[in-house]
Amino acid sequence: MAREKIYQEEEFPSPFLQLWQIFRQTPVAMVGLGCSIFLIVLAVFSPILTPHSAIESNLDMLLLPPSWDPSGNITFLLGTDDLGRDMLSRLMSGASLTFGLSFVVVVISLVIGVLIGSLSALTSGIKASFLNHFLDVVLSIPSLLLAIIIVAILGPGLSNTLWAIVMVLIPQFVHITRNAVKEEFVKDYVLASRLDGASSLRILRYSVFPNIVEKIISQATLAQSAAILDIAALGFLGLGAPIPLPEWGAMLKSGIDLFYIAPWAVYLPGLAILFSVVATNLVGEGIRHSLKLHKES
Amino acid sequence: MLIFTLRRLNLFFFTMLLLTLLSFSLSFLFPGNALLNVSGQINASPEQILLLSESYKTESSIFAQYISYLKHILSGDLGISMSSQTPISVEIADLLPATIELSMVALLLAMAIGIPLGFIAAIKHNKPADNIILSIAMIGYSIPVFWLGLLAILIFSITLPWLPSAGQISLLFEIKHVTGIQLIDILLSDNAYKWQAFQNASAHIILPACVIAVAPGTIFIRLARSSMLEVLETSYIRAASAKGLTFNQIIFHHAIRNSLVKIIRHVGLQFANLITLAMITEVIFSWPGIGRWLIDSIYQRDYTAIQSGLLVLSCFIFIIHILTDFVYAALNPMARDNKHA
Amino acid sequence: MMTLLRRIMVTCLFLGGAACNQDDTLTLSSKSIVYCAEGSPESFNPQIITSGTTVDATSNHLYNRLITFDSKDNSISPSIAKSWHETRDGKMITFYLRKNIAFHTTQYFTPTRTLTADDVLFSFNRILDKNHEFHGVSGGNYPFFESVQLGSLIKEIEKINEYTVRFKLYRQDSSFLANLATDFAVILSEEYGQQLAKNNTHQQIDISPIGTGPFKLKEYRVGSFIRYYRHDDYWQGKVALEQLVFDITPSNTGRLTKLLTNECDVSAYPIAHKKIMEHPNLTLEAVTSFNVAYLGFNTQKAPFDNKIVRQAVSYAINKKSIVDTIYSGRAEVAKSLLQKGSWAYDDSVIDQVYSVDKAKELLKLSGLENGFEMDIWAMNIQRAYNPNALTMAKLIQADLKEIGIKVNIISYEWATFLQRIKQGEHQSVLLGWTADHPDPDNFFTSLLSCSSVNSGSNSTLWCNKAFDNLLLKSLETTNIKLRKEYYSQALAIIAQEIPLLPLAHSKRYQARANNVKGDIMSSFGGINFLTVYKSEVGKE
């Protein structure tokens, strides 16, 4: 292994590519990946794709059941809610709120977390030990509880929810990056580039990152599924997205009042959350599975 | 063991310090007057405010303020709720036991179901049974708990009227508050309808406890599976099988015991997770616990209640954490020498 | 009671097991009612509140009044006072009290005497006499009585003898008796007051109540439940129910779920009416309730201190579609505060038409043509007049967006909500009013008079001298034709000034299990469980 790494610039995508080779041989993981890509497309293009407005109410079409019901209407494929808003359009726009925003949240906390994590891996002594202890305490508090605490301080609202979740996720990335970087730093190939005279930052950038990127991505999928569930849970508790926004958790909450009249207003957002979390978890499982096989091979 | 205990006590002390500092700073972070936030006396007259500011030493340095805040907490004075104007310590004493009861039942359920399933999956490694259990686990921890709760009510309370949908017990039964843990209180009471009440209370706890148990249960499946797999690969198991012990003997006499010890370690972490799930589930099942109360306090911007509620809840989670550490250390001598607290 | 329980215990021991447990539930639940209420009471004394939730939860169960409304024709009929006499000029009214009316015996109070004139004096002097020992207890506000200006009406209350009380008035007031018959004018125990004064625990009078009503308070857990036990010495005879529990369930779906799963026997303000009507074991009932839902503007805060802005907003709101959506067509669009059943109803009052253009025009006139941002406060619980204020606020939000106004919806838990409204923190609010008695004055004086600004029941903080004068004039005469004329003029002022925009008049609904018998709701005032019992069929 160490000898091959001398020509890093030609070699560096290879661990990732190797992983991909294994990943694509797992059908379940590929299904998960397909679903995730579908959700990402939906999140980005939902304003163009939705057949109706997600926020404007349509008072002539109140509480229509889904179209397969005898009294349903084909133009409102999944029915409407108590203000006559098309469920399908709301669910699609919800994808950009719940799924899309969770993606953004994960990316932001990944960047910050990896930065802090790799810098902290380069330090040692009391500072490092303090960070370690601090991380241990923070990581032992469940993410949703921590998010609720932060929302309680910042006050309810969608942007506050997102910041809260970013803050909750950062320590996880710091932790995983720090450990992974430390692990890599003792390996021979790092020593080789150090002997070449490379600075620590250069080693990080060109030698270490390509080798830990899959670990970080695997953590990102975990963070993503937690973020979806947390955004939805806060929305459900009425602490997240404000009233007219079609965030899935908030939709579910307002659907509860219609539980007995329009059960689809409860089923559909819940299914959407479940679908996106399962898709994310399948991808994550796939990556972890391939990582394991990769290590064994 | 002594050093282990000292180290834990040290950690406990340090964390409590951090938590009280955080909770103390919350009264400044929340909007409004810090003194009112910490005491909750929103209807106080100017004279009362003067007395309050004296007792919380608002005129002195931040350090003196913190010390007087600590004094108030240690004497059991958590302020009064801004919305109901009753002492928060009283409200918490009323509500926390209900949450403990619910989460303990849920934890037992999660362990009783999750761990055996995980063992089965490990023993049948890479066989259909393993895959089925893993798929169930995957769905189990992907399902949003609030949705699951609603579906459970729809199925088990409405469609099949088996279990009640809300509360801790039918309100017709009058149970005296002794420990706050309903099932124990019923047994302690001298109510004529005691057994009836006990049945009723048990029926009430099943549904919310099951809903809470699903996600931690699936995590226990994964934990049990991986720790069993790990144990099965160790040399002493191989030695045992070389000795000619049957598979069953190995599993029941050696493997289960040793993998259980590894799982115990994670119970503390799972308990914290469970409390969060319980908070949401309490809202759905109108369980009179601290989670529902805390979320209500957030709605009502009752800063005193949020501040003190969070302090009590996080202390409680942390204490459970340390307790499980002790149990683990008692079961596994090797853990006692672990340097990392 | 004890012997009965013991007998059950003994039979249990002999029979053992499940069969006996069935018996237990039957005895316990057949003499108890669980009522799913929509919110927590603010206090246990209706004298100091106006909210219907509190009246429903306390008044008729804990207390009696001097006089009451007949449940059939809404005429005034005897209660604690077995009869009364009014002088010709209407300035002196004498009440003759019933004897042997017992107060509650509870863990915290044991009465030594039955109700006398002293109790009546105590109850009213607490409200009227600013120097009374109990006047300032729990804040010293008596919103209902302040809004009907009882203080400036009653000159003196005189005890003639132990069982005779005379009210002397400054002037005639045609709504006086009706006001005394409302759920707010309850009679407290003077003896209990003395006991509390001795222990210096005055505030307990509104927290641990003592009254003469059919039920006494056993336990109250804030936000969770109220437990009442039967008052065994109730003067109107034995009450059928042994236990009455108010299960406080603010969630609409929660109440329906509990009703469907038999956890509640009766539910306030049910949703999904069709589902209840289709259910074999449930009944949906409705009473005509004189009420109005309105959008009130805080006329002391910008921009709604400007009449033109209020008019603009009122033009932009599509009342018809709101009523169709929120009430599913089971309510009428409100033209004014009064509805058709009231004798003062005037069809000629100008109705606000829905016109976006007109609204834009007016906004331009007020210099706000670029729109502005406003708060609408909407309660999160159901009221008879408004089953879903939050959705209503969302509809108004959409309507006002058309004329460039951005609406933020604000909501709090009910008791906090009312508290903050009282302090004038809102900019506009979706509220309503349910009449306490049949006199139309109840709508005007309580909602919009200057005196109700101070008492807190006027959420618009609007005070108009000409309007107040009309109300006063109308009270000083018993000539119905003249009164109607005054009220028509008052309605015209409201239509011009728009301190509030009336939206809808609705019925009050309730759902119950079929085995619950007896009348619970009435057109005026709170619910009553006096005559309620469970039929023998029991478990269905």
A146 is a domain residue: yes
Reduced to 3 states (helix: H, G, I; strand: E, B; else coil), residue C203 is coil
pLDDT at residue number C3: 42
**Percentage of chain C with pLDDT > 70?**
94
- C171: enclosing H helix or E strand: none
A16 is a domain residue: no
- Closest residue in C to A55 (Cα) is C398
pLDDT at residue number C15: 38
pLDDT at residue number C446: 84
Q: Do C256 and A83 touch (CB under 8 A)?
A: no
Mean pLDDT of C286-296: 86
Give the residue carrying structure tokens 């670990």: A215
Rounded to whole angstroms, the Cα distance separating C332 from C326 reads 11
Q: Do B29 and A153 touch (CB under 8 A)?
A: yes
Of the pLDDT bands very low, low, confident and very high (cuts 50, 70, 90), residue C111 is: very high
**Percentage of chain C with pLDDT > 90?**
30
Q: Would you call A60 an interface residue with chain C, using a CB distance cutoff of 8 Å?
A: no
Strand partners for C246: C35, C226
pLDDT at residue number B276: 87
pLDDT at residue number C8: 42
Q: Do A252 and B15 touch (CB under 8 A)?
A: no
Residues of chain B with Cβ-Cβ distance to A282 below 8 Å are 138
A94 is a domain residue: yes
Among C273, C291, C479, smallest CA distance to C385 is for: C291
Of the pLDDT bands very low, low, confident and very high (cuts 50, 70, 90), residue C540 is: very low
What's A198's DSSP letter?
-
pLDDT reading at C63 higher than 90: yes
Q: What is the DSSP string of C1-52?
A: -HHHHHHHHHHHHHH-SHHHHHHHHHHHHHTEEEEEESS--S-S-GGG---H
pLDDT at residue number C62: 93
Question: For residue C493, how far is the Cα from the chain centroid?
Answer: 26
Cβ(B172)–Cβ(C243) below 8 Å: yes
Domain coverage including residue C376:
291-507
Q: Do A142 and B151 touch (CB under 8 A)?
A: no
Mean pLDDT of B91-99: 89
pLDDT reading at C12 higher than 80: no
Q: Do A260 and C390 touch (CB under 8 A)?
A: no
A22 is a domain residue: no
Q: Would you call C277 an interface residue with chain A, using a CB distance cutoff of 8 Å?
A: no
Among A115, A78, A74, A269, smallest CA distance to A204 is for: A115
Reduced to 3 states (helix: H, G, I; strand: E, B; else coil), residue B286 is coil
Tokens of A64: 């229509």
B247 burial via Cβ count (<10 Å: 0-12, 13-18, 19+): exposed
Q: Would you call B331 an interface residue with chain A, using a CB distance cutoff of 8 Å?
A: no
Chains that touch A (3 or more CB pairs under 8 A): B, C
Distance from CA of B196 to the nearest CA of C (A): 6
Same domain, C309 and C226: no
pLDDT at residue number A254: 84
Same domain, C73 and C15: yes
pLDDT reading at C14 higher than 50: no
Tokens of A177: 């990056």
Same domain, C309 and C426: yes
Cβ(C218)–Cβ(B174) below 8 Å: yes
pLDDT reading at B7 higher than 90: no
Same domain, C83 and C16: yes
User: What is the torsion angle, in degrees rounded to the nearest 10, for the CA atoms of residue C393, residue C399, residue C405 and residue C408?
Assistant: 20
Say which of B86, B167, B196 has its CB closest to residue C24.
B196
Among C238, C192, C212, C216, smallest CA distance to C115 is for: C212
The interface predicted TM-score (ipTM) is: 0.83
Rounded to whole angstroms, the Cα distance separating C385 from C31 reads 32
Same domain, C77 and C132: yes
Cβ(C349)–Cβ(C488) below 8 Å: yes
pLDDT at residue number A105: 94
Interface test mutation site (partner C, options B165, B286, B296, B297, max chain C beta carbons within 10 A): B286
Peptide bond before residue C303 is cis, with ω within 30 degrees of 0 = yes
What is the 3-state composition of chain C as percent helix, strand, coil, each rounded to the nearest 5?
35, 20, 45
A215 is a domain residue: yes
Q: Position C352: which residue type?
A: Q
Q: Would you call C323 an interface residue with chain A, using a CB distance cutoff of 8 Å?
A: no
3-state secondary structure A40-77: HHHHHHHHHHCCCCCCCCCCCCCCCCCCCCCCCECCEC
Q: Do A59 and C409 touch (CB under 8 A)?
A: no
- The CATH number of residue C227's host domain is 3.90.76.10
Residues of chain B with Cβ-Cβ distance to C29 below 8 Å are 172
Q: Do C28 and B153 touch (CB under 8 A)?
A: no
CA of C55: how far to CAs of C38, C42, C43, in Å?
12, 10, 9
Same domain, C9 and C69: yes
Cβ(C318)–Cβ(C358) below 8 Å: no
Reduced to 3 states (helix: H, G, I; strand: E, B; else coil), residue C477 is coil
C537 is a domain residue: no
pLDDT reading at C266 higher than 70: yes
Q: Which of C92-96, C161-165, C301-305, C454-458 has the lowest mean pLDDT?
A: C454-458
φ/ψ region of C100 (left if φ > 0, alpha if ψ in -120 to 50, else beta) reads left
User: Tens digits of per-residue pLDDT, B227-255?
Assistant: 888 888 888 888 888 888 788 888 887 78
Rounded to whole angstroms, the Cα distance separating C426 from C393 reads 14
Rounded to whole angstroms, the Cα distance separating C84 from B49 reads 50
Q: Would you call A82 an interface residue with chain C, using a CB distance cutoff of 8 Å?
A: yes
Domain coverage including residue A234:
27-51+62-296
pLDDT at residue number C120: 94
Distance from CA of A82 to the nearest CA of C (A): 8
Q: Position C284: which residue type?
A: L
Residues of chain C with Cβ-Cβ distance to B166 below 8 Å are 249, 254, 257-258, 263
Same domain, C199 and C320: no
Rounded to whole angstroms, the Cα distance separating B165 from B157 reads 6
Same domain, C245 and C324: no
Q: Position C45: which residue type?
A: N
pLDDT at residue number C427: 92
Q: Position A239: which residue type?
A: L
Overall domain count for chain C: 2
pLDDT at residue number A111: 94
Distance from CA of B55 to the nearest CA of C (A): 25
* Pairing between β-strand C32-37 and β-strand C266-268 as defined by DSSP bridges: parallel
pLDDT reading at C508 higher than 60: yes
Cβ(C214)–Cβ(C505) below 8 Å: no
Of the pLDDT bands very low, low, confident and very high (cuts 50, 70, 90), residue C519 is: confident
Rounded to whole angstroms, the Cα distance separating B325 from B162 reads 39
Of the pLDDT bands very low, low, confident and very high (cuts 50, 70, 90), residue B145 is: very high
pLDDT at residue number C5: 43
Same domain, C230 and C356: no
User: What is the torsion angle, in degrees rounded to the nearest 10, for the CA atoms of residue C318, residue C320, residue C326 and residue C332?
Assistant: 140
Per-residue pLDDT of chain A in tens (297 residues, 90 and over written 9): 445 555 555 555 566 777 788 888 888 889 999 999 999 999 898 888 888 887 776 666 777 888 888 877 788 888 888 777 888 888 998 898 899 999 999 999 999 999 988 888 887 777 777 777 777 777 767 778 788 878 877 878 888 889 989 988 998 899 889 888 888 888 888 888 888 888 888 888 887 888 888 888 888 998 999 999 999 999 998 888 776 788 999 889 888 878 888 888 889 999 999 999 999 999 988 888 888 887 776
Cβ(B89)–Cβ(B78) below 8 Å: yes
Mean pLDDT of C256-276: 87
User: Tens digits of per-residue pLDDT, B171-218?
Assistant: 888 877 778 788 888 888 877 778 888 888 889 999 999 999 999 999
Q: Do C247 and B167 touch (CB under 8 A)?
A: yes
Overall domain count for chain A: 1
Give the residue carrying structure tokens 């024709």: C73
Of the pLDDT bands very low, low, confident and very high (cuts 50, 70, 90), residue C13 is: very low
User: Tens digits of per-residue pLDDT, A142-198?
Assistant: 778 788 878 877 878 888 889 989 988 998 899 889 888 888 888 888 888 888 888
User: Tens digits of per-residue pLDDT, C297-350?
Assistant: 999 988 898 889 999 999 999 988 888 888 876 788 888 888 877 778 887 777
Mean pLDDT of the residues in chain B: 84
pLDDT reading at C479 higher than 70: yes
The neighbour count for residue C221, using CB atoms within 10 Å, is: 14
Mean pLDDT of C436-445: 84
Cβ(C47)–Cβ(C148) below 8 Å: no
CA of C433: how far to CAs of A32, C48, C183, C296, in Å?
55, 17, 15, 11
Q: Would you call C325 an interface residue with chain A, using a CB distance cutoff of 8 Å?
A: yes
User: What is the torsion angle, in degrees rounded to the nearest 10, for the CA atoms of residue C449, residue C450, residue C451 and residue C455?
Assistant: 90
CA of A170: how far to CAs of A173, A220, A284, in Å?
5, 11, 18
Q: Do C395 and A83 touch (CB under 8 A)?
A: yes
How many beta-carbon pairs below 8 A join chains B and C?
70
A255 is a domain residue: yes
Q: Do C272 and A260 touch (CB under 8 A)?
A: yes
Of the pLDDT bands very low, low, confident and very high (cuts 50, 70, 90), residue C84 is: very high
Q: Do B150 and A259 touch (CB under 8 A)?
A: yes
Domain extent listing, chain B: 2-74, 92-336
Rounded to whole angstroms, the Cα distance separating A261 from C388 reads 15
Residues of chain C with Cβ-Cβ distance to B174 below 8 Å are 218-219, 227
Q: Do B150 and A270 touch (CB under 8 A)?
A: yes
Interface test mutation site (partner A, options C253, C267, C395, C406, max chain A beta carbons within 10 A): C253
pLDDT at residue number A22: 82
Question: For residue C507, how far is the Cα from the chain centroid?
Answer: 14
- The CATH number of residue C340's host domain is 3.10.105.10
pLDDT at residue number A60: 66
pLDDT reading at C415 higher than 50: yes
Chains that touch C (3 or more CB pairs under 8 A): A, B
Cβ(A175)–Cβ(A118) below 8 Å: no
pLDDT reading at B337 higher than 70: no
Chains that touch B (3 or more CB pairs under 8 A): A, C
User: Tens digits of per-residue pLDDT, C205-242?
Assistant: 988 999 999 999 998 887 789 999 999 999 988 888 99
Helices (H), chain B: 2-29, 34-39, 46-55, 62-74, 88-123, 128-142, 145-152, 182-188, 194-232, 235-242, 247-249, 256-284, 290-299, 303-331
Chain B, 99 to 158: residues with Cβ < 8 Å from chain A are 138-139, 141-147, 150-151, 154
* Pairing between β-strand C428-434 and β-strand C291-297 as defined by DSSP bridges: antiparallel
- The CATH number of residue A233's host domain is 1.10.3720.10
Rounded to whole angstroms, the Cα distance separating A177 from A34 reads 27
Q: What is the DSSP string of B122-179?
A: HHTTTSHHHHHHHHHHHHHHHS-HHHHHHHHIIIIIIISTTS--SSSS-TTS----SS
Cβ(B92)–Cβ(B286) below 8 Å: no
Rounded to whole angstroms, the Cα distance separating C322 from C386 reads 11
A19 is a domain residue: no
Q: Which of A73-82, B135-144, C83-92 has the lowest mean pLDDT?
A: A73-82
Same domain, C240 and C322: no
What are the residues whose beta carbons fall under 8 Å from the beta carbon of C245, sequence distance 6 or more? Answer: B171, B172, C32, C33, C34, C35, C225, C226, C227, C228
Q: Do A137 and B154 touch (CB under 8 A)?
A: no
Distance from CA of A41 to the nearest CA of C (A): 29
Distance from CA of B309 to the nearest CA of A (A): 10
Strand partners for C211: none
State the architecture of B92-336 in CATH terms: Orthogonal Bundle (1.10)
CA of C269: how far to CAs of B116, B172, C34, C358, C527, in Å?
47, 22, 15, 37, 12
Rounded to whole angstroms, the Cα distance separating C372 from C407 reads 9
Tokens of A176: 């995983």
Same domain, C199 and C311: no
pLDDT reading at C11 higher than 70: no
pLDDT at residue number C467: 92
Q: Would you call B166 an interface residue with chain A, using a CB distance cutoff of 8 Å?
A: no
pLDDT at residue number C25: 56
pLDDT reading at C118 higher than 90: yes
Phi, psi for residue C32 in degrees, rounded to 5:
-130, 155
pLDDT at residue number C228: 94
Same domain, C214 and C119: yes
Q: Do C28 and B172 touch (CB under 8 A)?
A: yes
